[in-house]
Amino acid sequence: MSQPFAIAVIGATGTVGETLVQILEERDFPLTELHLLASAESAGSSVAFKGRNLRVREVDAFDFSKVGLAFFAAGPAVSRSFALRAVKAGCSVIDLTGTFDQQEAPLVVPEIDAQGLAGANGPLLLSTPGPSATAVALALAPLRELLTLQRVDVTGCMAVSTLGREGVSELARQTAELLNMRPLEPRFYDRQVAFNLLAQVGTPDQEGHAAVERRLVRELRELLGLPLLKVSASCIQVPVFFGDSFTVSLQSAEAIDLQQVRDCLEAATGLELVEEGDYPTPVGDAVGQDVVYVGRVRGGIDDPHQLSLWLTADNVRKGAALNAVQVAELLIKGHV
Amino acid sequence: MSQPFAIAVIGATGTVGETLVQILEERDFPLTELHLLASAESAGSSVAFKGRNLRVREVDAFDFSKVGLAFFAAGPAVSRSFALRAVKAGCSVIDLTGTFDQQEAPLVVPEIDAQGLAGANGPLLLSTPGPSATAVALALAPLRELLTLQRVDVTGCMAVSTLGREGVSELARQTAELLNMRPLEPRFYDRQVAFNLLAQVGTPDQEGHAAVERRLVRELRELLGLPLLKVSASCIQVPVFFGDSFTVSLQSAEAIDLQQVRDCLEAATGLELVEEGDYPTPVGDAVGQDVVYVGRVRGGIDDPHQLSLWLTADNVRKGAALNAVQVAELLIKGHV
């Protein structure tokens, strides 16, 4: 590759893309050039980076041989159209959109498993998992040493920023209308989301599962290396701006020693275990932070094989943009 | 009993007590007199009933032999002090506070089981379960005909009204402060509840379980008549004023036929099954209603023995006040 540290961010105008650019700046990521790209309808605006305003250009016309690494955060359609083209042009790709399956693009969360990177030659196509699988896998992966996982039931309470900027502004707008006693006309969501819970995120498939639920189940199995693990997932939309939270109930073949579990979570990287009696919240702890917060580590009632956890994490940072940059840091160190 | 249809409501100034008085009026409950009572610090105010303002008097001085039936909704301390005294005075008691165990005061939800009332002689001491167990049991009880339940995992998303009027006004106050960019000083909760999730409701015990979680597990087992059923419960506080919602994941010994499950839920009393593709919400469906709404009936991903449900119900009505009045209606018809 002629310019190994030139980088492209596709989807630079979205919530995740913009945060990705911020994190590249925060971490002083070693790059020679930064190309910001987006689909035709989003191109034209500009995004701040190290005191300059970089113009966002159309991805269609971009020559991927000019960069060594590209982050794809513009949605599945754009990844499907351009990611393989980029790899063919000699550019490694980190996809944030969940478009590719395990065979095409292995998932990487550096704290759990960086094997997708081992012994790689030439440009790679890698995936970074969705926010839900990242958070849950970071908490469960270290427990595999103690427990034989048999089932995991997850309820994900997703922030409105899961659906990008429109979700955020719609929650703010609806809340203001309601507090000012004005009639509510839902726009972005099909109903009231302020002071309410929506039972699903996005449109479910024929079997009733939403894409975020399918993705959580698939990616969690892959990240834990347990393809047959029984996982059930229910993702609901809560009136929170940023930060996803999860109640996790798991069953283990062994009776569970809670102190061992706490010690194991305490020692794990990428996790912050909150002391007993206290608990983390999205607003108070997770937002803007790089770790997944864990609290309420509890055993089952009359059931020594059951464990409950509460997790909360920044869905835009560790759940997406930060993890992608961490994967890129590994790539740059070892391979590109 | 000298005046069989004279009634007392203890805790008449609280959210549940006030709704109970409203429901007695709505349903034109057959009563000759209504005595409104409260602990010393809440007595003195008045509550509207059928166009009159009834004064709330101190429970300490009340002569329970004057009434045939008393609803206790003032909290465990008041129930512990006065409920047995009322029964000794010849008055049947319906306790809404979860103070008594199964042996002292059987739980009754008329749609599920009214056996606690069968063949009774003289004054009874009965309990009505908490909102969470009522909602979940109403959905699971009819499924016992189809399925052998092995495990139930519940995440309860509790409205701020779970903690009464102060929870409601604190959410409103915090939201207004935040929207007006004023610094937030939490009062009733120990932290920000607006646009946030709190991982627990109330103070947990030494093993980390909150009282609402213990009560849900205990009452669900009792209502389903399955004392050994494995149940895990996580109850979180969400920024919703009224209406509790639940994600329920269950495992059955048999492979699950989803159409049979839907038919069974459709036919059950006290439930409203929302059509596939749509789903109920607390604000849009549950609040002010007398039934438990069920939606998102889904099978497991690669797991024919797993079933997911979404429930939402008015925590003050069916979850508390309405159920108590329905039990009273049975009592009056048959026994008092």
Nearest alpha carbon to residue A31 among A67, A74, A85? A67
3-state SS string for B119-172? CCCCCCEEECCCHHHHHHHHHHHHHHHCCCEEEEEEEEEECHHHHCHHHHHHHH
Instruction: Report d(CA B271, CA B290) in Å as an integer.
Output: 9
The average confidence (pLDDT) of chain A is: 93
Residue A115 pLDDT: 66
Complex prediction ipTM: 0.93
- Which of B197, B208, B306 is opposite residue A281, by nearest beta carbon? B197
Q: What is the DSSP secondary structure assignment for residue A247, as one 8-state letter?
A: E
Q: Classify residue B256 as exposed, middle or buried by CB count within 10 Å of its CB (0-12, 13-18, 19+).
A: buried
Whether A140 shows a pLDDT value over 70: the answer reads yes
Residue B3 pLDDT: 42
Summarize pLDDT for A147-162 with one digit per residue, the tens: 999 999 999 999 999 8
Calculate how close chain A gets to B79, using CA atoms only, in Å.
26
**Other CB atoms within 10 Å distance of the CB of residue B332:** 18
Collect all residues of chain A within an 8 Å Cβ-Cβ radius of residue B298. Answer: 207-209
Residue B164 pLDDT: 86
Q: Which two three-digit tokens encode residue A310? A: 């509460």
Cα atoms found within 13 Å of the Cα of residue B80, Cβ hemisphere only: 6
Calculate how close chain A gets to B186, using CA atoms only, in Å.
12
Collect all residues of chain B within an 8 Å Cβ-Cβ radius of residue A308. Answer: 232, 234
Whether A15 shows a pLDDT value over 80: the answer reads yes
- Under the banding of pLDDT at 50, 70 and 90, the label for residue A185 is confident
Q: Chain A: residue nearest B275 by CA? A: A208
Calculate how close chain A gets to B92, using CA atoms only, in Å.
33
User: Is B200 in Cβ contact with A302 (below 8 Å)?
Assistant: no
Calculate how close chain B gets to A134, using CA atoms only, in Å.
19
What percentage of chain A carries pLDDT values higher than 70? 96
Collect all residues of chain A within an 8 Å Cβ-Cβ radius of residue B192. Answer: 281, 283-284
CB neighbour list of residue B101: distance below 8 Å, 6 or more residues apart: none
Instruction: Report d(CA B304, CA B267) in Å as an integer.
Output: 23
Calculate how close chain B gets to A205, using CA atoms only, in Å.
9
Whether the full predicted model's pTM is greater than 0.90, yes or no, is yes
Whether B114 shows a pLDDT value over 80: the answer reads no
- Under the banding of pLDDT at 50, 70 and 90, the label for residue A4 is low
User: Is B234 in Cβ contact with A308 (below 8 Å)?
Assistant: yes
Q: Chain A: residue nearest B297 by CA? A: A208
Whether the CB-CB separation of A151 and A221 falls below 8 Å is answered with no
Least confident interval from A23-27, A98-102, B206-210:
A98-102
Interface with chain B: mutation pick from A174, A189, A197, A229, highest number of B CBs within 10 Å: A197
Whether A307 shows a pLDDT value over 90: the answer reads yes
Instruction: Report d(CA B290, CA B268) in Å as an integer.
Output: 14
Whether B301 shows a pLDDT value over 60: the answer reads yes
User: Is A296 in Cβ contact with B199 (below 8 Å)?
Assistant: yes
Nearest alpha carbon to residue B271 among B291, B248, B289, B287? B291
Whether B1 shows a pLDDT value over 80: the answer reads no
Regarding beta strands A303-313 and A244-252, do their DSSP bridges make them parallel or antiparallel, or are they unpaired? Answer: antiparallel
Whether B137 shows a pLDDT value over 90: the answer reads yes
Amino acid at A225: G
For A173-182, what is the mean pLDDT?
Answer: 92
Whether the CB-CB separation of A67 and A3 falls below 8 Å is answered with yes
Whether A172 shows a pLDDT value over 70: the answer reads yes
User: Is A195 in Cβ contact with B240 (below 8 Å)?
Assistant: yes
Residue A237 pLDDT: 98
Least confident interval from A316-320, B5-9, B236-240, B257-261:
A316-320
Whether A42 shows a pLDDT value over 90: the answer reads no
Whether the CB-CB separation of A235 and A156 falls below 8 Å is answered with yes
Regarding beta strands A303-313 and A292-300, do their DSSP bridges make them parallel or antiparallel, or are they unpaired? Answer: antiparallel
Instruction: Report d(CA B70, CA B49) in Å as an integer.
Output: 17
Residue A119 pLDDT: 63
For B34-62, what is the mean pLDDT?
Answer: 94
Whether the CB-CB separation of B286 and B243 falls below 8 Å is answered with yes
For B226-245, what is the mean pLDDT?
Answer: 97
Calculate how close chain B gets to A217, using CA atoms only, in Å.
8
Amino acid at B174: Q
- Under the banding of pLDDT at 50, 70 and 90, the label for residue B2 is very low
Cα atoms found within 13 Å of the Cα of residue A163, Cβ hemisphere only: 22
- Under the banding of pLDDT at 50, 70 and 90, the label for residue B221 is very high
E-only strand ranges, A125-216: 125-127, 149-158
Q: What is the DSSP secondary structure assignment for residue A330, as one 8-state letter?
A: H
Distance from the Cα of residue B155 to its chain's centroid: 16
The average confidence (pLDDT) of chain B is: 93
- Which of B281, B302, B306 is opposite residue A199, by nearest beta carbon? B281
Distance from the Cα of residue B124 to its chain's centroid: 20
Q: Which two three-digit tokens encode residue B258? A: 């989803």
Whether B80 shows a pLDDT value over 70: the answer reads yes
User: Is B239 in Cβ contact with A239 (below 8 Å)?
Assistant: yes
CB neighbour list of residue B315: distance below 8 Å, 6 or more residues apart: B131, B158, B159, B161, B162, B242, B243, B244
Whether A118 shows a pLDDT value over 80: the answer reads no
User: Is A308 in Cβ contact with B232 (below 8 Å)?
Assistant: yes
For B225-230, what is the mean pLDDT?
Answer: 96
Least confident interval from A163-167, A222-226, A246-250:
A163-167
Whether the CB-CB separation of A256 and B159 falls below 8 Å is answered with no
User: Is A297 in Cβ contact with B157 (below 8 Å)?
Assistant: no
Instruction: Report d(CA A312, CA B191) in Å as an integer.
Output: 16
Residue A64 pLDDT: 97
Whether the CB-CB separation of A283 and B192 falls below 8 Å is answered with yes
Residue A84 pLDDT: 96
Whether A290 shows a pLDDT value over 60: the answer reads yes
Q: Which two three-digit tokens encode residue A287? A: 């937002």
- Under the banding of pLDDT at 50, 70 and 90, the label for residue A62 is very high
Interface with chain B: mutation pick from A152, A153, A219, highest number of B CBs within 10 Å: A153
Collect all residues of chain A within an 8 Å Cβ-Cβ radius of residue B247. Answer: 155, 234, 236
Q: Which two three-digit tokens encode residue A55? A: 């113009």
Domains of chain B: residue spans and CATH: 6-129+320-334 (3.40.50.720), 133-315 (3.30.360.10)
Residue A1 pLDDT: 38
Instruction: Report d(CA B336, CA B321) in Å as an integer.
Output: 20
Distance from the Cα of residue B45 to its chain's centroid: 25
Instruction: Report d(CA A307, CA A249) in Å as an integer.
Output: 6
Summarize pLDDT for B27-36 with one digit per residue, the tens: 999 999 999 9
CA distances from A232 to A152, A198, B115, B275, B298 (A): 6, 18, 35, 22, 10
- Under the banding of pLDDT at 50, 70 and 90, the label for residue B214 is very high
Q: What is the DSSP secondary structure assignment for residue A86, as one 8-state letter?
A: H
For A134-141, what is the mean pLDDT?
Answer: 97
